[in-house]
Amino acid sequence: MIAIDNIQQYLINKLDSISSIGEVPVAAAIELNGRVVSTAWNSRETSNSPISHAELLAIEDATRILGRWRLSDCILHTTLEPCPMCMAAAQQARLKKIIYFAKDVNRGAISLKLNLHNNDNLNHKIEVEYSENELASKKLKAFFHPRRSK
């Protein structure tokens, strides 16, 4: 485990290198007691896997490192609002909290009001915090703009 004073800035700094290899610039980290257990980034294009989202990879890596699947004392930091698949994985991993830096109004589980993090029918609730970071949003827009204008 490594100590990183500003997890948000660390993840934002990774986005340009992620974009440069053709991946959607999303990075995630799992924190335990103020220390980073794992970090990951989207790798759907390079791995040819639709489930290679940064959040899923960070969760998977943290469970391997910690030797347990329950991450109820861990916080997921992610540069983009989790999609329904990633939110469901966070729920299954029993994460304590999710902090995300940019909204995804078209695909984000919270924006879509799916309520996977705070559903009375599920056995675990996750605290969610939106910590807006304009740079995270700008880097995503910069990545998609040339692709969508073709």
Positions marked catalytic: 55
DSSP annotation of 72: T
Nearest by Cα to 76 from 139, 11, 14, 16 = 11
Collapsed DSSP state (helix, strand, coil) of residue 102: coil
Beta bridge partner(s), residue 81: none
The structure tokens 């609730």 sit at 125
Beta bridge partner(s), residue 28: 40, 78
